Amino acid sequence: MHLRLFLASAGLLTGALVGLSGTGAGAAPQAAATVLYVAPGGTDAAAGTQSAPTTLASAISRVTSGGTIYLRGGTYAYGSTITVPAGTDGTSAAPTTLSAYPGEKPVLDFGAQTESSTNRGIQLYASYWHLYGLTVQHAGDNGIYVGGSHNVIERTVTAYNHDTGLQLGRIASTTPSSQWPSDNLVISSESHDNADSDGEDADGFAAKLTTGTGNVFRYDVSHHNIDDGWDLYTKTATGAIGPVTIEYSLSYSNGTLSDGTVNDNGDRNGYKLGGDDIAVNHVVRHDLAYGNGHHGFTYNSNPGTLTVSDNVGIDNAERNFSFDRGTSVFRTDTSCRFAVDGSNDKTVGDADGTNQFWTGTNGARCATYAGALGWSFASDGKLAVTFGGRAVTL
């Protein structure tokens, strides 16, 4: 089991969440005509310079393909959705960038919105954009909704929204499947405490219902969402989605908000990987599911051939791994129980001897792993893990 590799990779992610500088958009500001600056006190007609910042909506309407919009630190109060329209694309060689100004934290707060499917925070309908370092919170629906393709969403935080924090899906009901969002990368991002009133839809991250191929989640953390950490749900009305890759990511305590709120309608899984008996061959590797309110990893009626490798499930309320049928391939996965009793894992498919699934007999081996890695449990039963040399309590 490559646990040390997983923890080292997760250290990159954890560092991102405490503001370590990154590559790409987080570099020094460009001194070019295509750079626009936005600040909480900016105005629509302002020039968009550092001394005369404009508004985000105005900057989006003015930025040229391959240009950059810098958001200065502070809180931006919004009552309406901010949309990056389809067709305002960057290019593969020169994406258009919407970034936090280096060293500063812009918080886009949509608290004036009511809970409604029409009240998203940011809608990214264009392609070849790079969103970096933004916090989006309190939207009436999704915090960030991505309908375009070939985008990079990096080091964002989506929290306290009234539907899934960050979701990929088609732009409109008339959008053909050939134009569903594809080849998007969500990297080093966090999503937490998203909750809708009925408790059934607000996940941390989702690529569900109407997404194309090539979408990847990497080094991401999803926790304390009312429903699932990740949701790759499909339904008969819209058919199969493209295979999704989730790798080097962490999903914990989903189904319970940070304040202790639980909604019995929530599914409460760490990684929910299907729906409606539709086969999609997702890839789920080097991920950790800890302390979620139902299953850690679940096929959720996806009968396809999923690649499930090098994952760790710990103390999820029912099963750490729950795959009742299908032809999935399981390699080097580990399931452990320390503080929570649950049912035995079920892994229908191709599972060889490299795995340690929970049958009520592998506790001693899991304890050996835990001790070797320096894991421990706090007095309240929460898992204390060291990620890249930094202690984190989950």
Assign 26 to helix, strand or coil.
helix
Burial per residue of 186-195, b for 16 or more beta-carbon CB atoms within 10 angstroms, e otherwise: bbbbbbbbbb
| 30 DSSP 8-state letter | P
CA distance 129 to 147: 12
Tell me the HSE value of 170 on the side-chain side, using a 13 A CA sphere. 15
Q: Are strands 205-207 and 166-168 parallel, antiparallel or unpaired?
A: parallel
CA distance 244 to 273: 9
CA distance 79 to 82: 9
Assign 16 to helix, strand or coil.
helix
CA distance 301 to 325: 8
Q: Which amino acid makes up residue 71?
A: L
Q: Which residues, at least 6 apart from 196, have a Cβ–Cβ distance to it below 8 Å?
A: 115, 162, 163, 202, 226, 227
Which of 101, 107, 69 is closest to 88 using CA atoms? Answer: 69
Residues annotated catalytic, as ranges? 272
Report CA-CA distances (Å) from 181 to 140, 210, 219, 282: 22, 8, 20, 16
Burial per residue of 112-138, b for 16 or more beta-carbon CB atoms within 10 angstroms, e otherwise: ebebeeebbbbbbbbbbbbbbbbbbbb
The total number of residues written for the chain in this structure = 394
